[in-house]
Chain A
Amino acid sequence: GEQVEQRPPHLSVREGDSAIIICTYTDSATAYFSWYKQEAGAGLQLLMSVLSNVDRKEEQGLTVLLNKKDKRLSLNLTAAHPGDSAVYFCAVSANSGTYQRFGTGTKLQVVP
């Protein structure tokens, strides 16, 4: 089945710097890609999702890049601030709305 790897497991950046998280997947039929944010003690909140026909998507200081050839998905938080400190997960699925497979998570700490 689909294998999803996420790195790094921990990431610490200074306020205003960029933070990049990368996921790789194995199934070439993967069609939907999402990034979630989990704050302490809370559930997961969707940040952004893209279809496989999208190479790049930007929203509110977040950039998602999709490289289908290398089966790699990345999330770039530009100008990170302390409120971005959380655990981030990538998730992939073959079909819209059906179950997703999640990466192992990246704990991001943004220090002032």
Chain B
Amino acid sequence: EAAVTQSPRSKVAVTGGKVTLSCHQTNNHDYMYWYRQDTGHGLRLIHYSYVADSTEKGDIPDGYKASRPSQENFSLILELASLSQTAVYFCASSDPGSSSYEQYFGPGTRLTVL
């Protein structure tokens, strides 16, 4: 069964600290995405990748870096965490050749920056 897993599931970080969120997919999908979810904003795209060792900026990339070391793994990095980055972060994967247009989502990581 297709699966996207995220770690950690929740994290408390201090302002100015470094945070790394990890995502792993077993779907064999080329595309992976990082979104953040805030109340009243739905999901907003931070970074995405369509191939290993390459990442692209989404709609709100400032303050975030991404890394795609392999097809299966995609990380989101906050070099200097800030209060405004408190949110729930979702990873997703998709197959651009699929007819279903579905993105498969992980369970989310709740990040609190204090």
* Chain B contacts for A42, CB-based, 8 A: 107-108
The smallest beta-carbon distance between B97 and chain A, in angstroms, is 7
Q: Are B106's CB and A43's CB within 8 A?
A: yes
Closest to B102 in A: A46
Q: Which of B4, B33, B100, B106 makes the CB contact (< 8 A) with A99? A: B33
Q: Are A96's CB and B101's CB within 8 A?
A: yes
* Chain A contacts for B100, CB-based, 8 A: 46, 49
The smallest beta-carbon distance between B38 and chain A, in angstroms, is 10
CA distance A38 to B98 in the complex (A): 22
User: Measuring CB to CB, which residues of chain A are less than 8 angstroms from any residue of chain B?
Assistant: 1, 4, 6, 9, 32, 34, 41-46, 49, 89, 91, 93, 95-105
10 contacts between A and B (CB under 8 A): A34-B101, A42-B108, A43-B107, A46-B103, A97-B31, A97-B95, A102-B44, A104-B40, A104-B42, A105-B42
User: Measuring CB to CB, which residues of chain B are less than 8 angstroms from any residue of chain A?
Assistant: 4, 31, 33, 35, 40-45, 48, 58-59, 90, 92, 94-103, 105-108
